[in-house]
Structure 1
């Protein structure tokens, strides 16, 4: 029986210069750096506070570190290696060194606290971690609390200053104090410079397209974060596809400001430019004034971001002084771009903001907006070699245009499953008309022209400025507080972040009338990533529960939504 082909009305709006399908290299991600280092040996691969690192130097340092990983740290093919740092050249060097060693990169959000870090060590069964010195003490302390058989065997530590030039030719953009500060190394840790100095040559690179390459973690609706198994092939799809879609080549200059541990920053701010031979201008933390000067100075052509960055950028009092004439691609995702902001970007600078959609499970986009005909607050159309449908989440029947259902996707960029979680993997996929699709858990619709729009989340998730916060994970951490008996996490409106985290808490008897909401917030701030901890705490005597004893979080969320709506009406009256 012939499989039914999905309707593809969006192809009539496909960019004419872009093929509808791409052919992937049958090579590893490491080979992308190998090729660019041969083709563009003395071209700047990274520009970082005045320091230019060539493709040749990038390859040499990655190979030296790969030699240390294999011969000194005992890393074998398929081993998971944690990469725990903010954006800096050492992230890219480490990432490609791990790949060169035939191992698997496990990127860890540098905002994670010690308690959260433990999970990555134990779940990924990692024995080696590479981190920056500002995070090393916390990582070592967390590791020491684990059973001996689960602990790290090697901790490699770099100072941010290891990649900084001795002087900066542009004093106004000199590195901030947090980058120049040095921190003591934990006992037994290996210093970055020591690892690179005199490291033996790595063994022959044997990883192929179907070997594991990267395992980013994503949070589910229950429990702790889950590792997404990605091969060199699944990562390569959006490396090649992203460069092709955005028109990036060796002459391109990329502003890399999204976190590299996150799949969007990883693909558009690192892997894509290395594949195409483009130059990365790296900004470790968002700063609108520095970003404007970097775009002007280095004639940046491509900038992938999140809408809150653009909103902040356009609010700069120095906006008129920035030269944005070189920009030819600007886009991103994580949250919808407000229509008024997108229209101002178009009218003032002639730039169309191209929104896209993807997940950790798809290693960045499954959908992107065509440059010639984008739609505002829209996910876009399915990308190269990718199929998408909208189905009824209960009956699994396909729905017609403009009916809301669950978005499912199928394509080469889809992950292979959740690490060590066969049941969760089984639940994440369905067979649909002879093809395997990933259930995104996002509710949306497709219009008559084949463009997709997100309307709600089937899964229980809070979207705070593009950062996904999963209530069950925050609840698990809150339960470690000695004064908390029960907790339920919901979303609440926030004027800047759009949505932020609220904890509805039942205190233990001994804490009632003593522990304050502010104390809970401060404790959470110390024990959770900055985007994740509750900004608002409400004490209640009891949480609403169903007949089976489950907390009725939807009821709490609906009450919160109604309260916010009432406040909005009162404010506007």
Structure 2
């Protein structure tokens, strides 16, 4: 661990405003004119930096200090980005909870945080007031929206309250900047504590790896990724979409933004690019301005990579799939070209999904699986190459703890002198070329009497069937004696409608299973009209839920 230095991640916005004062910073699709054309509003770097100063000063006038935790629940917009950096500037902690995780989980997260205030849309402020006794400490409340404020000071009033009154607060690289909750795809959501220095390291790692240049124009399909752009001198164009439902995105809206804003870089979940890629290929649409496409959240299916590569007319344009987690991002990266030309064939025969080589300054190891906490790195046994084990990471951007979860922190972190390693909760291995291969979540291993089965290795073998959209391998029964069950979601309009069609489909899947040693122990196959997936990326399959479903059906 390096010694703390004076740092606030909002310093990067100030620097961008100084270097590129008149460049557009954030562009937002405000609406449409009577002819259907998109009407955009925007702020320059100078304007946004001044706005965040005034917002921060307003928060200070309301009593905000570095000790406070403020929940931010605002739709993707200029206001969302401005408020995030304003909270950073006060030294307070911004708390970000994925609105797509469901009401009960959201309330559980809020109970755990005990917020000092809500910076939120009116409906959230109304709920806060209705549950006033539950949030007794929430005295700093800002309402962002055009309707009633429900007890929160309106955004415009906050700006006026703080106009030209900002008093800078000194923070250190090790001071808490944010608490970001995990999606809870493999357990209860946990609050990941981010320090200012960790955010700063993330920006540097991403910019260096992908050679992102100031002046580029980015379309972030995941709101948090917009925050990196301000630190890089990159213009953010907020997409016209519901970020909690990327699988339902209207591809025309994404294509429209790329074309009329000259987007050079875009980030989205595999579910988003599946929609966009299919549409572009069907309509023979090219996206000439794109230089770089990023996708993460789960392994990106080969057909999605193929379609998005077809969409890019620039020879040097590339799609990348960075690997990481909320607790440690980024870790590794691989290009679509390398996948399509080298690793996809190995994935198809059960060798897992290659996630590439580690980023510069990021150390990755694969250790023998351990069920409990590991008290020190010396007690972790490193696996040889090509041996599947548990993936651990040491990085300047890796987070060191979960908020108020000492037990979970102890399970997830391995002390190593004055540093630590984060346990990703993933299984994988290094090949002879030092590339990391992902084999699935540790929690999803199917533990049979004959040995371990890794879903991400087995599923692609079946996903090559032309009528299979995706599949999920789960275990039914007691660990160590589980029976493997493969649950298949057919392609659209391919769900078997008769018993004869069902039997034919099943016979074809059984033949595929029998041809590979990895899968020849699978005899139980089920069909599912739509596999349950995570709410954040709409792509991580909820295998725990499917295992329960399979046990009952």
Q: TM-score, normalised by structure 2?
A: 0.70
Matched, 1:332 2:288: no
Pick the aligned partner of 1:280 from 236, 241, 244. 236
Residue in structure 2 matched with residue 130 of structure 1 by the alignment: 119
Pairwise CA distance, 1:369: 1.7
Supply the RMSD in Å over aligned alpha carbons: 3.6
The residue number in structure 2 matching 1:239 is 203
Match of 2:97 among 72, 94, 108: 108
Structure 2 residue aligned with 1:269: 226
In structure 2, what is the Cα distance between the partners aligned to 1:424 and 1:95?
A: 27
- Residue of structure 1 in register with 2:273 after alignment: 310
Which secondary structure state, in structure 1, belongs to the residue aligned with residue 355 of structure 2? Answer: coil
Closer/same/farther in 2, CA of residues 411 and 529 from structure 1, 3 Å limit: closer
Q: Which residue of 1 aligns with 2:167?
A: 203
Which of 131, 153, 166 does residue 139 from structure 2 map onto? 153
- The match for 1:382 among 358, 366, 379 is 358
Counterpart mapping for 1:535-554 below 5 A: none
Alignment-derived partner of residue 326 in structure 2: 360
2:399 paired residue number:
415
Deviates more, 1:402-411 or 1:201-210: 201-210
Residues 269 and 380 of structure 1, relative CA distance in 2, 3 Å threshold: farther
Q: Which residue of 2 aligns with 1:447?
A: 431
1:360-402 Cα offsets, whole Å, 9 max, x none, are 111x311112688455542221112111111111384211122
Q: What SS does the aligned partner of 1:402 have?
A: coil
| 1:58-86 Cα shifts (integer Å, max 9, x gaps) | 111111111111111x1111321111123
What corresponds to 1:424 in structure 2? 408
| Residues 247 and 320 (structure 1), Cα distance of their counterparts in 2 relative to 1, 3 Å cut | farther
User: Which runs of 5 or more residues in structure 1 are unaligned?
Assistant: 1-23, 160-181, 261-265, 464-489, 498-524, 538-552, 564-573
Q: TM-score, normalised by structure 1?
A: 0.68
The answer to whether the 8 A contact 1:127-1:154 is kept is yes
Task: Determine if contact 1:255/1:283 at 8 Å carries over to the other structure.
Answer: yes
Q: Which whole-Å CA distance do the structure 1 matches of 2:489 and 2:124 have between them?
A: 29
- Give 1:105 deviation, angstroms: 1.3
**Offset at residue 531 of structure 1 (A):** 6.5
Question: Is the CA contact 2:58–2:160 (under 8 Å) kept in the aligned structure 1?
Answer: no
Q: Call closer, same or farther: CA 1:556–1:212 in 2, change over 3 Å.
A: closer
Provide the aligned length of Structure 1 versus Structure 2. 432
Matched, 1:257 2:221: yes
Alpha carbons of 1:47 and 1:348: their partners in 2 closer, same or farther (altered >3 Å)?
A: closer
| 1:315 counterpart SS class | helix
Go from structure 1 to structure 2 and tell me whether the alpha carbon gap of 1:365 and 1:495 turns closer, same or farther (over 3 Å shift).
farther
> Deviation of residue 102 (structure 1)?
0.8
Distance 1:221 1:529, change over 3 A: closer
C-alpha displacement at 1:40, in angstroms? 1.3
- Pick closer, same or farther for the CA change 1:317–1:404 going to 2, 3 Å: closer
Gaps of 5+ in 2: 30-39, 242-248, 345-352, 371-378, 446-454, 457-484, 493-531
Change (3 A) 1:27 1:496: farther
Q: Which residue of 1 aligns with 2:74?
A: 85
Report the CA distance between 1:303 and its aligned residue: 1.0
1:391 maps to which of 351, 355, 367 = 367
Match of 1:345 in 2: 308
What is aligned with 1:42? 22
The answer to whether the 8 Å contact 1:379/1:452 transfers is yes
Deviation digits for residues 20-53 of structure 1 (CA, Å, limit 9, x no counterpart): xxxx996321100111111111111011121121
2-side partners of 1:133 and 1:68: how far apart? 19
Alpha-carbon distance in 2 for matches of 1:393, 1:290: 45
Range with bigger deviation, 368-377 or 228-237: 368-377
In structure 1, distance between residues paired with 2:116 and 2:274: 41
CA contact (8 A) 1:42 1:55 kept: yes
Supply the distance in 1 between the matched residues of 2:269 and 2:544 (Cα, whole angstroms): 28
Q: 1:496 to 1:145 in 2, by over 3 A?
A: farther
